[in-house]
Amino acid sequence: MFKKGFLYLALASSCFCPIVQAADMSKVLHVNYEVAEVGFDPAKTNDLYSSGINENIFDTLVTYDYLARPVKLVPNVIEAMPELSADGRTYTFHLKKGIYFSDDPAFKGVKRELTAEDYVYSLKRLVDPVVHSPNGYLVSDKIVGLEELSHAPRGKFDYNTPIPGLKALDRYTLQITIKEPNSSFLYFLGMIHLAAVAREVMETYADNTMAHPVGTGPYVLKEWKPANKIVLEANPNFRHVELESVGSGKGLDAEIVKDLKGKTLPIAGRVEVSVIEEEQPRWLSFINQEQDIAFIPLNGARKILNVDPRNPGKVSLKPEYASKGIRIQPELLPEITYYFFNMKDPVIGGYTRERIALRRALAMSFDRDQAIRDIRQGRAVPMENIIPRNFVGNNPNLRASTPYDPALANALLDRFGYKIGTDGYRTQPNGEPLEVELAVTPTATDRQWSEAWQAAFDSVKVHLRIKVAKWNENYKASKEGSLQMHGNAWTADYPGADNFLQLLYGPNSGQTNDAFFKNAEYDRLFLESLKLPDSPERNAIYDRMNKIAASYTPWVFSDIRIRTYVSNAYVHGYKQHPILITSWRYMDVQK
Amino acid sequence: MQDMTMTNNSPAELTPPRSLWSLGWQRLKRDRVGFVSLWIVVAFLVVIALCWTRLLASNWGEEVAVPYAPPTWAKGEATAATNGATDANVLGGANGPIITLTPEEDPIGKDIEAARADAGKYQLKATVKADALFMGADVRGRSVVNKVLAGTSTSMLVGIFGALLSVLIGTCLGAFAGYFGRAVDDFLMWFYSVFTSVPDMLLLLAFAAVCGRGFLTLIMVLSFTSWTATFRLVRAEFMKHRSREYVQAADAIGASHLRRMFVHILPNISHLLLVQFSLLLVSLIKYEVILSFLGFGVSVRQVSWGSILGEVPAELMQGYWWQLLAVVIMMSLLVTAVSLLTDALRDALDPKVK
């Protein structure tokens, strides 16, 4: 009787939480990476490629709406978006019940449910000195008590130490308290580095967590040949999820909503990721339908696309590709590219009017439109604002770049006493020789940029010296402040304007502020803007910060690249997200 | 004694003595391929002389055509880039008046307004850019003909001076090692082993990374890494020659070591050095191309075959093949000619061949 009852109970419980294995295991998605991955421990990696895999294995508290633009945060493993206390510092999350980790020997045959403690553990893990996470900065100075915990003596880091900022109120309720109100904090929680890992797994595989990802996400790691091939398979324990996003309700969005209606995610049972580093073979492999999605190589743009010269966003495929049913999605990358001047440098730096004039004149001398046309092959738009276009806070009416005008640049330098010497080049106002050094890398593209800069410097009669070094050498030198001038690109970590504005924030000098720019008003406005929600008031602050940057010209604003994503005719449900790295769970292949 | 020499000399006056060099010249003239190659190489030398004296292609940097203007004889085949300048506004979103930094907000606003009045004298006249050129144009609209000629001059000068310096280093060190032997030889052989133990390309890149860019650096870098073959050759020859009778005779009349090495022995191996020089010339031109291709070559103001070839992969993907064609023609012509000439010289100057 007792035994029988037990059996009934077991049957009943299996009906209460049906494990839906919806993914069609015969459907295989073929995708590729242009750079090799590092490993699959979300705390230990911060490269795009590892994170793309982690995104499919692990779950963050919040995630992004698949179709909505501009991007929008939505609940992921929580019932609803968190409650925020009146002082703007305490967030309360209610986790959904019945979310399980994928099976692993570390769980000793027991189904392991996701709980609030898992997030407490995972966030603490980011500051554990043994883990040595490159992502600790995201949380350590924000969550109350976490920094103190990270200063624990070596070997004494205890995960059981309670800290005030990070509490599991009960099995499914998580409370996070931050030191200062921060409008971008929820974006951090959407980053894959802050996903939940299981403590048992991390402790079982402590010496090689990179190769043993166990999460609650739609896929599990099936096979891994480092830097060559990664195979994911649908996670049989994955909760029931359907597409909830509606997007704009027209065009591609409407089509995706219709295609995915009533389908359980993920759709494809298997994802095969190959690493193909060279542009040409990657493109050929896509054309031969060995890859389902790809993007158009920069140098191939003119061969593959018809570009409207007045509108780089308006493109169409050449007939030979269009006839194959290939579809394109041109997207502005979530980035800015710029050349910075070192503000600490005795020649090019400084805040006196004559130095501002020198930097302004050099910025005026650079023909950016020509560079976009010839070097970027028309696949870029000018950068006009420190905050990239399509980001909340970007004012599309603002032009903070310096307009191209070499004649005015010459007149301006004359006015400030940069006299033309006997060799036809200008000297400093105090009569000392004037020469500026631009650091570049030994690539063919950088040679083109060097030639463009050489032409610019020649047009204002200033000596330019070009220093060629490997990217990492320049990177190191720029952090030490020993470069005079160097080109940079910054890609969004999260869709907050502060992620870009911090590039000129004084205290970040030597970290992300390569220009070593320091301006009291800018720094004050930056801190003020962090506390404000999206509002006209905050937008006004952002505009003012842009104008400060335009006044002192620590940067020459360059451009924002357009990447054209492509998918083969048989691919459904694909839309590239600007922040999420992959769209694999939504993709269907019908060959 | 004097009579003896007189009598010995008299038949020689009837058939004048022929040096190795004049014999070699006779043999070279008979070798038709070698002779043609010689004239091609001479033609290249004339080109570099003209470029060096700025009589030819000195204006290669001028932007005379539209970007990627096609060759006149292949105008229909590819169209030049015509994408106009873009404006951020075209992506939509701008809905009000454009906001820029006002002169009042700008710390140098007043100066800019004042300078605007003087800007007129710097205003450049708009020039008409050609739609097509004989061999087309590159990304900046520079003539490919001029660019390739200038590149030829750079690459050849690097090759010639690099090879000269390399032969000089190799010969001096080889002469000392071979002539003195013992400790000097041991030391120089050790030095030689250190250099040869590192792969050539790695050594080149290491030198190039340390020394920076430019014409002179390239010559130094290339010769510092390529002297080893000459060194071995010269060392072996000096070992062979140092105990010959004529060297002993020179010793007997009191010639110094240096005189014996460079006045007595060196002329006897000079034909080998000439062949070595031509071999080096070809390989250094190739190395220069590789270095420039990798971005460690000439500076932005200079152009060489390697720096042109560095631009080619990106151009080919877009369908602009004319720079590649021009460089390939010049490069294969010169390298083949020098190689054939070297072969011919080796045959012509070999004393064993009659």
User: DSSP secondary structure string, A7-58?
Assistant: HHHHHHHHHHS-----SEEEEEEEEEESS----S-TTT--SHHHHHHHHHH-
Tokens for A284?
């050929």
Residue of B76, B61, B59, B71 whose CA lies nearest to B130 = B71
Amino acid identity of A169?
A: L
Distance (Å, whole) CA A392 – CA A73: 13
B63: closest chain A residue by CA = A455
Mean pLDDT computed over B312-336: 88
Name every residue whose Cβ is closer than 8 Å to that of residue A410 and which is 6 or more positions away in sequence.
A361, A459, A460, A461, B119, B122
Residue A507 CA: distances (Å) to CA of A476, A502, B229: 18, 9, 57
- What pLDDT shows up at residue A392? 86
Of A312, A374, A398, the CB nearest to B139: A374
- What pLDDT shows up at residue A437? 94
Closest-CA distance of chain A to residue B318, Å:
5
Dihedral (CA of A291, A296, A299, A303) sign? positive
- What pLDDT shows up at residue B9? 47
Is B109 part of a structural domain of the chain? no
Q: What is the pLDDT of residues B154-194, one digit of tens each?
A: 889 889 999 999 999 999 999 999 999 889 999 999 999 99
Contacts of A331 in chain B (CB under 8 A): none
In this predicted structure, the answer to whether residue B8 has a pLDDT above a threshold of 50 is no
Q: Specify the 3-state DSSP secondary structure of A73.
A: strand
Planar angle of CA A59, A62, A65, nearest 5 degrees = 105
In this predicted structure, the answer to whether residue B16 has a pLDDT above a threshold of 80 is no
Dihedral (CA of B44, B46, B51, B52) sign? positive
Of B98, B120, B295, the CB nearest to A443: B295
Q: What is the DSSP letter of B265?
A: I
Residue B8: in which H helix or E strand, if any?
Answer: helix B2-14
User: With an 8 Å Cβ cutoff, are B314 and A313 in contact?
Assistant: no
The C-alpha torsion from A393 through A395 and A398 to A401, rounded to 10°, is 50
User: With an 8 Å Cβ cutoff, are B107 and A372 in contact?
Assistant: no
Q: Which residues pair with A489 in a beta bridge?
A: A337
pLDDT-based confidence at residue A8 (cuts at 50, 70, 90): very low
Tokens for B15?
């058939």
Q: What is the DSSP letter of A504?
A: G
Do residues A561 and A522 touch, judged by C-beta distance below 8 A? no
Residue for token pair 């590159």: B138
Planar angle of CA B278, B279, B284, nearest 5 degrees = 95
Distance (Å, whole) CA B235 – CA B175: 6
Of A313, A370, A372, the CB nearest to B91: A313
Do residues B142 and B60 touch, judged by C-beta distance below 8 A? yes
- Other beta carbons within 10 Å of B74: 14
What are the start-end ranges of the E strands in A189-334? 219-225, 229-234, 268-275, 293-295, 305-308, 311-317, 327-332
Do residues A435 and A345 touch, judged by C-beta distance below 8 A? no
Distance (Å, whole) CA A245 – CA A249: 10
Distance (Å, whole) CA A215 – CA A196: 7
Contacts of B84 in chain A (CB under 8 A): 309-310, 373
In this predicted structure, the answer to whether residue A4 has a pLDDT above a threshold of 50 is no
User: With an 8 Å Cβ cutoff, are A396 and B84 in contact?
Assistant: no
Q: Which residues pair with A90 in a beta bridge?
A: A177
In this predicted structure, the answer to whether residue B6 has a pLDDT above a threshold of 70 is no
ipTM, two decimals, is: 0.77
Is B317 part of a structural domain of the chain? yes
- What pLDDT shows up at residue A366? 95
User: With an 8 Å Cβ cutoff, are A389 and B91 in contact?
Assistant: yes
- What pLDDT shows up at residue B15? 62
Best B64, B66, B79, B83 member to test A by mutation, with max A CBs in 10 Å, is: B83
Residue B130 CA: distances (Å) to CA of A515, B74, B144: 41, 15, 13
Distance (Å, whole) CA A506 – CA A527: 11
User: With an 8 Å Cβ cutoff, are A396 and B94 in contact?
Assistant: yes
- What pLDDT shows up at residue A537? 94
Mean pLDDT computed over A427-433: 92
pLDDT-based confidence at residue B354 (cuts at 50, 70, 90): low
User: With an 8 Å Cβ cutoff, are B212 and A375 in contact?
Assistant: no
pLDDT-based confidence at residue A84 (cuts at 50, 70, 90): very high
- What pLDDT shows up at residue B91? 57
Distance (Å, whole) CA A15 – CA A9: 10
- Other beta carbons within 10 Å of A19: 12
Count helices and strands (H / E) in chain B.
14, 0
Q: How many residues does chain B have?
A: 354
Full strand arrangement of the beta sheet holding A173-177: A83-84, A90-94, A173-177, A166-170
Of B86, B91, B296, the CB nearest to A468: B296
- Other beta carbons within 10 Å of A12: 9
Count helices and strands (H / E) in chain A.
18, 23
Of A302, A382, A410, the CB nearest to B87: A382
Q: What is the pLDDT of residues A518-535, one digit of tens each?
A: 999 999 999 999 888 889
Full strand arrangement of the beta sheet holding A24-33: A24-33, A268-275, A229-234, A219-225
Do residues A370 and A452 touch, judged by C-beta distance below 8 A? yes
Q: What is the pLDDT of residues B97-139, one digit of tens each?
A: 888 888 888 999 999 999 988 888 888 777 788 888 888 888 8
Best A447, A449, A459 member to test B by mutation, with max B CBs in 10 Å, is: A447
User: With an 8 Å Cβ cutoff, are A382 and B212 in contact?
Assistant: no
Is B128 part of a structural domain of the chain? no
Tokens for B34?
């070698």
Lowest-pLDDT choice from A92-101, A366-375, B80-89 = B80-89
Contacts of A416 in chain B (CB under 8 A): 111
In this predicted structure, the answer to whether residue A14 has a pLDDT above a threshold of 80 is no
Is B110 part of a structural domain of the chain? no
- What pLDDT shows up at residue B76? 62
pLDDT-based confidence at residue B17 (cuts at 50, 70, 90): low
Of B86, B123, B301, the CB nearest to A372: B86
The alpha helices in A298-421, defined as continuous H runs, are 301-304, 319-322, 353-365, 368-374, 406-415
Do residues A348 and A553 touch, judged by C-beta distance below 8 A? no
Closest-CA distance of chain B to residue A311, Å:
5
Mean pLDDT computed over B141-149: 91
pLDDT-based confidence at residue A151 (cuts at 50, 70, 90): confident
Distance (Å, whole) CA B278 – CA B45: 14
Distance (Å, whole) CA A506 – CA B90: 34
- What pLDDT shows up at residue A248? 86
Is B295 part of a structural domain of the chain? yes
- What pLDDT shows up at residue A17? 44
- What pLDDT shows up at residue A474? 86
Phi, psi of A589 (to 5 degrees): -115, 125
Is B77 part of a structural domain of the chain? no
Closest-CA distance of chain B to residue A223, Å:
35
Distance (Å, whole) CA B167 – CA A573: 67
Contacts of A445 in chain B (CB under 8 A): 314
Contacts of A311 in chain B (CB under 8 A): 86, 90-91
B121: closest chain A residue by CA = A407
Annotate A97-134 with b (16+ C-beta within 10 A) or e (fewer).
Answer: eebbbbbbebbeeeebbbbbbbbbbbbbbbbbeebebe
Tokens for A225?
């040949």
Is the CB of residue A320 less than 8 Å away from at least one CB of chain B? Answer: no
User: With an 8 Å Cβ cutoff, are B122 and A441 in contact?
Assistant: no
User: With an 8 Å Cβ cutoff, are B83 and A307 in contact?
Assistant: yes
Q: What is the pLDDT of residues A536-584, one digit of tens each?
A: 999 999 999 999 999 999 999 999 998 899 999 999 999 999 899 999 9
In this predicted structure, the answer to whether residue A247 has a pLDDT above a threshold of 90 is no
Distance (Å, whole) CA A527 – CA A535: 15
Is B82 part of a structural domain of the chain? no
pLDDT-based confidence at residue B352 (cuts at 50, 70, 90): low
Q: What is the pLDDT of residues A158-189, one digit of tens each?
A: 899 899 999 999 999 999 999 999 888 999 99
Is B10 part of a structural domain of the chain? no
B118: closest chain A residue by CA = A411
Name every residue whose Cβ is closer than 8 Å to that of residue A581 and which is 6 or more positions away in sequence.
A48, A51, A52, A55
Q: How many CB pairs under 8 A join A and B?
A: 180
Phi, psi of A189 (to 5 degrees): -65, -15
Range of the domain at B258: 19-60+143-353
- What pLDDT shows up at residue A460? 94
Contacts of A358 in chain B (CB under 8 A): none
Do residues A279 and A294 touch, judged by C-beta distance below 8 A? no
Residue of A110, A71, A49, A30 whose CA lies nearest to A495 = A71
pLDDT-based confidence at residue A309 (cuts at 50, 70, 90): low
- What pLDDT shows up at residue A459? 92
Is the CB of residue A458 less than 8 Å away from at least one CB of chain B? Answer: no
Q: What is the pLDDT of residues B34-82, one digit of tens each?
A: 899 999 999 999 998 998 888 888 888 888 888 888 888 877 654 444 4
Distance (Å, whole) CA B188 – CA B181: 10
Contacts of B117 in chain A (CB under 8 A): 411
- What pLDDT shows up at residue B128? 80
Residue B318 sits in a domain of what CATH number? 1.10.3720.10
pTM: 0.80
Contacts of A374 in chain B (CB under 8 A): 67, 81, 139-140
Distance (Å, whole) CA A300 – CA A303: 5
Q: Which residues pair with A339 in a beta bridge?
A: A487, A556
Distance (Å, whole) CA A102 – CA A116: 17
Domains of chain A and any CATH numbers: 11-272+568-589 (3.40.190.10), 335-562 (3.10.105.10)
Do residues A197 and A214 touch, judged by C-beta distance below 8 A? yes
- What pLDDT shows up at residue B89? 41
Number of domains observed in the structure of chain B? 1
Considering chain B, what is the average pLDDT of its residues? 83
Mean pLDDT computed over B211-228: 83
Contacts of A383 in chain B (CB under 8 A): 88
Name every residue whose Cβ is closer than 8 Å to that of residue A342 and which is 6 or more positions away in sequence.
A348, A349, A481, A483, A484, A485, A514, A515, A516
Q: What is the DSSP letter of B95?
A: -
